[in-house]
Every structure is written in structure tokens, then in C-alpha cells.
Amino acid sequence: MKLNIGIFQYEMQDESPDEKITEKDHNQLFNSAQLFDDEGISIANHRKKLLPPTADESKIFTPGNERSIFSLKGVKSAIVICYELEFPEIIRELALEGVELIIAPTGQSSHWPAAALYNCRTRAFENGIFVAYANSTGQLNGINFMGESKIIGPDGLDIVNAGIGEKLISAEIDTNEIKLTRGKLPYLKDSQSI
């Protein structure tokens, strides 16, 4: 199955909008990411389950309690937000359920570059899946966002990388590459014997 995907790497600016965009449900705030199809219909709404102590996220937001698995034009996909991608157990569980594409919106600052530079590629490589890692760039409230949005193949290598600065990137993914990669490096299968 082939699918064209794109990422817009937005440049943050030290101007805050009049209203913050956040999901509010029954007087609870959620750090959430919503995916819309090409007709503007919501396909998935993922509420971040793991809230890190940094930036007071765990004090502001209520954690979500469900995974977001859905089909995106025939490609089994899931959303994880930022910190969640840094847990190999989460991604492994999704891959074992047949997820072929992880969509990971994030707000990764330059204080923690390993997540943007290594962890997202490692998650793709160790599970033989595609990862669409969408980060911000620029500065907001004294935080420097490092960019590095990318679409990563199941071999852990970038198909396309936005680097630094506001950019739109896109690539075609082919899920047949998952089977080929796993045939050579069967990490997912072999992990079941541990």
C-alpha cells in the first residue's frame, strides 16, 4: 500500500494567540492531536496518556486513557504525542498490533535533542515501521524548538528531513518496505521470544 504524507514544520513565535488551543471536555484539559481526512472529517483524536513533569504538563492536563489506532487510506496508523514516542514499549505494542505508521506531533526543544535526533529513528528501526515526526521550530516563551521534522522509513533512515526553519515536507511511503525490512532484520518477531 502506498500513501503520500506531509508534515508542516511550523515556526513558533514569541507572540501568544489570544486564546490557547487545547481540548476541553467536561472541565478537563487534554493535550491532544487530531487527524483530519482530506475532506476535513476527524479520523482520530489522541489524548496524550503520558504527561512529563517538564513544562508542568502533568499539572495542567488530564492524561488520556486510550490508544488511537485507525486506518489512513488503508495504512494502519496510530498517533503518539511527544514524550510517548520516547517509550519503546508503547511503539512495540502498537507495532505488534499491526500499526505500520506512527504519527508523532511534538514540541521538542533543543534542551533534549536526543528525542528528535535518535529516539524517533530508533523506534522506526527497532519495529520496522514508518514514523512521521512533526516538530516545531523557532522560539516561544524562551524555549528554542529544534525542528528536525522527518518521515522515517522502517530501516530507521530519513526519507525526508525538514532540518531547521519553517518548511513543508512530504514523501510517499510504501508499506511493502515493512515486510522487506523485517525479512532482513526481524526485531519485532524475535522480540516475542524474549
Query: Looking at the whole model, is its pTM more than 0.85?
Result: yes
Strands (E), the chain: 2-9, 11-12, 23-25, 28-30, 32-36, 42-47, 69-72, 75-79, 101-105, 130-134, 137-140, 143-146, 150-152, 158-161, 167-174
> Mean pLDDT throughout 126-148?
94
State the average pLDDT for the chain.
Answer: 92
pLDDT category, 16, cuts 50, 70, 90? Answer: low
Distance separating alpha carbons of residues 155 and 179, to the nearest angstrom: 11
Q: At what angle do helices 88-96 and 120-127 cross, to 10 degrees?
A: 30
How far from 162 is each of 41, 133, 136, 169, CA to CA, in Å?
A: 27, 10, 10, 6
Percent of all residues in the chain with a pLDDT value above 90, rounded to a whole number: 80
- CATH architecture, domain 2-10+28-191: 4-Layer Sandwich (3.60)
Q: Does residue 20 surpass a pLDDT of 80? A: no
Distance separating alpha carbons of residues 4 and 164, to the nearest angstrom: 22
C-beta neighbour count of 144 within 10 angstroms: 13
Q: Does residue 21 surpass a pLDDT of 70? A: no
C-beta neighbour count of 56 within 10 angstroms: 10
Answer whether 32's CB lies under 8 Å from 48's CB.
Answer: yes
